[in-house]
Amino acid sequence: MGDKMKEQLLEELSKAQKILEERTKTQGHMIRKLQMLIANEGLFSQIIDFFPYPIAIFTPQYTVAMVNKAFAAETKTQFLNLEKGSAHILQYRIEDMRLTAAVKQVFKGNTFFLEDVKNPFSMFAGIVQQSVIQPDSFHKAIIFPVLAYDAEITHGVIVFMS
C-alpha cells in the first residue's frame, strides 16, 4: 500500500472517528437531560408527559416507573399505583423478542434503535386490550439507559415512534 493511500485511509478514519465522537457526545447529553427530568419530578415530568410519542420509564426490576399521556392514550390504559411497583414490563407474551433483549441489555449500558417492531405494547402488564391498538401505529422503538451522577444505571426508557 502506497504512502498516499495510507494517508487517505487515515484521513477517512479520522473523519469517521470525529463523527462517532460527536454522536456519542450528543447521545450522552440527551441521556443526562432525561436523567435530570426523571430525577426532578414536578415540572420536568410534565414535559415528558406532554411529549407526543408514547414513553415508558422502567427500573432494573422491570417495574414501570412512569408512562406519559401519549402512552396511556395509545394503550387506553391507566397504570394505577406506579409508586407501589404494580405495573411490570416483560411479564406477558412478547411478540418481538428483540424488545426483550433490548430491555434486558439496557441495564448494561446499551442503547437500541429497533425498526419493524411487532406489537410493542405486548410486553406491559395491565394492557389487556391489545386489539384496540393499531398494529401499524408504532413500529419503531428507542431503548436507552438513564445514568445517575455516579454512572449507575437507574432507569431504562422506551420511546415508541411511528
Q: How confident is the model at residue 107 (pLDDT cuts 50, 70, 90)?
A: very high
Task: Give the pLDDT confidence of 108-153 residue by residue, as tens digits.
Answer: 999 999 989 888 887 887 665 444 445 557 888 899 998 777 778 8
Using a pLDDT cut of 70, give the percent of the chain over it.
Answer: 73
Average pLDDT over residues 79-104: 73
Average pLDDT over residues 51-57: 90
Superfamily of domain covering 3-161 = PAS domain (3.30.450.20)
| pLDDT at res. 85 | 52
Give 155's contacts (C-beta < 8 A, 6+ positions apart).
35, 38, 57, 58, 59, 65, 145, 146
| pLDDT at res. 14 | 87
**CA nearest neighbour of 152 among 91, 107, 112:** 107
54-88 exposure pattern, b = at least 16 Cβ within 10 A, e = fewer = bbbbbbeebbbbbbbebbeebbebebeeeeeeebb
Using a pLDDT cut of 90, give the percent of the chain over it.
Answer: 11
Listed range (5-19, 77-91, 102-116, 124-138) with the worst mean pLDDT: 124-138
| pLDDT at res. 131 | 46
Domain spans of the chain, in order of start:
3-161
Who has greater pLDDT, 83 or 68? 68
Largest CA distance in the chain: 67
| pLDDT at res. 130 | 45
| pLDDT at res. 82 | 54
| pLDDT at res. 86 | 64
